[in-house]
A and B are shown apart, each in its own frame.
Chain A
């Protein structure tokens, strides 16, 4: 019984309204638990996805495109004039990165930068009466090894098999599955320019990024150039950095210097990263809604208590309790619900995460996974506690202020 007096009274009030207190306690707990559980799930998924795209895809892709059409000479000469050009016909450019060899050489000289050239295009694979349209990328295996995870993602075969077998091809798992192709099969391929070739499957890879597994195939750079009928042409430079955070500034620098469109991994995955932002917004508003409902519960209990305990407030004030003493009692009630609810919510949230971790299932969205990918961090516990306790205190503040402003004369007069 060594509790401070205000705490003693606050506790008595809450225990008096046991059922209501329990309900609002549960509301806070659920809010906290869901926040922890959902945050772990969403951030686990998002972090895993970002790690994978950083890992699997090149950090920067330099493409044989320019971002905006070149300005016409007349516009350059009269920058302020209103010029309208009609019947303008763009010149047929030969696609491909011009001076790619030099670019490759100078980029490779930079520390922490690994570059691999590639030629990518479309290809139609034909196997056993099935047509599969894919993206074909011609690669240079020794350089590719340093830039992408392709070699590690191989389920069977090796990158070197591209050299040892003539007309060798490596397929994504999904491509192979679609047409029922297995390693060692011979498939016919037709390129958009009409080159036909028999390709031998020497490897199958699985990156767990659905889009890649279902649409990508790899051949030697030379073969890709033959298929595209563009000898010696490179239309992409894939770059990997030791420090992935440098991707955006370096991409911008390359683009400034060479004029070719350079996309950092953030830009390549812009739409997915954009979806994450929306996902997070939905998650936080859902969890906030749960907490707000819980706060209505707290508001409700404490308002009821204030209403019921008007006489007690009157006598306490007349015997010398100050306004702030009264206010403190009721704010403390909200705080107690907030703190206790948080503790219970932590336990429930922890249980929820462990439960989700124990589930095994196959999921195929942006990425493939065999269960929830969960991100566990004390930060989620801290944030949820802060949100719950702050909102519980705010919810208690309003009735507490009303209680502190009650005039004892109005209460003691005529109560009997």
Chain B
């Protein structure tokens, strides 16, 4: 089976007066349907690795393969197209557009991709919100929701274009323990029942145990 995403001796350095290495020689394979947690102390390069895997940032060494296809030679626009159709992001902050209702926020990636008609896009967005128990909040603005609800809207948005890969960067950082648990259980469900690959960065080792596999980073390297 082809890996959903694969990192081959991935490195990222910041050039400057004092060169900083964010991640160093990372080899990582995430299979379809696998739920992986990346843990490590702050500054260990967890988020940097996630951005490299998500094609938001370009490595200074090594390469990222999406479904076995190399990405190093792709243009920024081609990378954007891959992110749009195949990768869903969830961040610590929800990043919902404040002027748009929850429904409209979920619709944005669908409309950007443009494969569905306006009515179909609306139905799909509504369906996603319903499946995340947000049916009553479709018309509400993000500011009218609680933190946990907002993060679930953000997850619905990440799922909008039915991507096989979900990348989450400290998605529970702003949530209370109970809600954080619910979010992680939701990720587990998405992986097990829908076959999506989930990579979650967290510093919470207890939550990380809900994942199938844990990758621990220290100083930009994977340690066993």
* A contact residues around B170 at 8 Å (CB): 416
Q: Which among B76, B89, B98 is the interface contact of A319 at CB below 8 angstroms?
A: B89
Please choose the segment from B1-9, B78-86, B204-212 that sits at the chain A interface, where 4 or more of its residues have CB less than 8 A away. B78-86
Report the separation of the CA atoms of residues A13 and B100 in the bound assembly, to the nearest whole angstrom. Answer: 10
Minimal beta-carbon separation of B60 from chain A (angstroms): 14
Please choose the segment from A272-280, A308-316, A386-394 that sits at the chain B interface, where 4 or more of its residues have CB less than 8 A away. A308-316
List which A182-238 residues lie within 8 A (CB) of chain B: none
* A contact residues around B24 at 8 Å (CB): none
Task: Give B81-123 as 1s and 0s: 1 = Cβ < 8 Å from A's Cβ atoms.
Answer: 1111100110111010111100010001101110000100000
* B contact residues around A325 at 8 Å (CB): 112
Q: Is the CB of B174 within 8 A of A311?
A: no
**Does chain A have a CB within 8 A of B169?**
yes
Q: Is the CB of A12 within 8 A of B100?
A: yes
Report the separation of the CA atoms of residues A1 and B98 in the bound assembly, to the nearest whole angstrom. Answer: 17
- Interface size for chain A: under 10, 10 to 19, 20 to 34, or 35 or more residues? 20 to 34
* A contact residues around B85 at 8 Å (CB): 320
Q: Is the CB of A320 within 8 A of B97?
A: no
Report the separation of the CA atoms of residues A8 and B84 in the bound assembly, to the nearest whole angstrom. Answer: 19
* B contact residues around A315 at 8 Å (CB): 89, 91, 95, 97
Report the separation of the CA atoms of residues A317 and B54 in the bound assembly, to the nearest whole angstrom. Answer: 12
**Does chain B have a CB within 8 A of A413?**
yes
Report the separation of the CA atoms of residues A45 and B83 in the bound assembly, to the nearest whole angstrom. Answer: 62
**Does chain A have a CB within 8 A of B130?**
no
Report the separation of the CA atoms of residues A12 and B141 in the bound assembly, to the nearest whole angstrom. Answer: 13
Q: Is the CB of A416 within 8 A of B89?
A: no
**Does chain B have a CB within 8 A of A16?**
yes
* A contact residues around B91 at 8 Å (CB): 315, 412, 415
Minimal beta-carbon separation of B222 from chain A (angstroms): 20
Q: Which among A15, A311, A319, A409 is the interface contact of B51 at CB below 8 angstroms?
A: A409
Known pairs A408-B56, A412-B169; A319 contacts B97 (CB<8 A): no
**Does chain B have a CB within 8 A of A94?**
no
Minimal beta-carbon separation of B23 from chain A (angstroms): 13
List which A286-317 residues lie within 8 A (CB) of chain B: 311-312, 314-317
**Does chain A have a CB within 8 A of B70?**
no
**Does chain A have a CB within 8 A of B47?**
yes
Q: Is the CB of A311 within 8 A of B95?
A: yes
Which of A12, A324, A409 has the most C-beta atoms of chain B within 10 angstroms of its own C-beta?
A409
Q: Which residue of A lies closest to B118 (CB)?
A: A2
List which B159-177 residues lie within 8 A (CB) of chain A: 169-170, 173-174
Q: Which among B54, B111, B174 is the interface contact of A318 at CB below 8 angstroms?
A: B54
Q: Is the CB of B93 within 8 A of A415?
A: yes
Report the separation of the CA atoms of residues A364 and B99 in the bound assembly, to the nearest whole angstrom. Answer: 58
**Does chain B have a CB within 8 A of A98?**
no
List which A1-29 residues lie within 8 A (CB) of chain B: 1-2, 5, 8-9, 12-13, 15-16
**Does chain B have a CB within 8 A of A152?**
no
Q: Is the CB of B112 within 8 A of A319?
A: yes
Q: Is the CB of A15 within 8 A of B173?
A: no
Q: Is the CB of B95 within 8 A of A412?
A: yes
Which of A9, A319, A323 has the most C-beta atoms of chain B within 10 angstroms of its own C-beta?
A319
Minimal beta-carbon separation of B186 from chain A (angstroms): 19
Report the separation of the CA atoms of residues A408 and B167 in the bound assembly, to the nearest whole angstrom. Answer: 15
* B contact residues around A416 at 8 Å (CB): 92-93, 170, 173-174
* B contact residues around A12 at 8 Å (CB): 97, 99-100
* B contact residues around A15 at 8 Å (CB): 99
Q: Is the CB of A311 within 8 A of B93?
A: yes
Minimal beta-carbon separation of B59 from chain A (angstroms): 12
Q: Is the CB of B83 within 8 A of A318?
A: yes
Minimal beta-carbon separation of A301 from chain B (angstroms): 15
* A contact residues around B92 at 8 Å (CB): 415-416
Report the separation of the CA atoms of residues A311 and B51 in the bound assembly, to the nearest whole angstrom. Answer: 16
Q: Is the CB of B93 within 8 A of A409?
A: no
Q: Is the CB of A1 within 8 A of B118?
A: yes
| 5 nearest CB pairs, A to B | A320-B84, A315-B95, A12-B99, A320-B83, A5-B111
24 example contacts (A-B, Cβ-Cβ < 8 A) are as follows A1-B118, A2-B118, A8-B104, A16-B98, A311-B93, A311-B95, A315-B89, A315-B95, A319-B89, A319-B108, A320-B82, A321-B84, A322-B76, A322-B80, A409-B51, A409-B56, A412-B89, A412-B91, A415-B95, A416-B92, A416-B93, A416-B170, A416-B173, A416-B174
Q: A319-B83, A319-B108 are in contact. List 16 more A-B contacts (CB 8 A).
A: A2-B118, A8-B104, A12-B99, A311-B95, A312-B97, A315-B91, A317-B80, A320-B85, A320-B109, A320-B113, A409-B51, A409-B56, A412-B56, A412-B91, A413-B47, A416-B93
Task: State the A residues within 8 Å of B (CB).
Answer: 1-2, 5, 8-9, 12-13, 15-16, 311-312, 314-325, 408-409, 412-413, 415-416
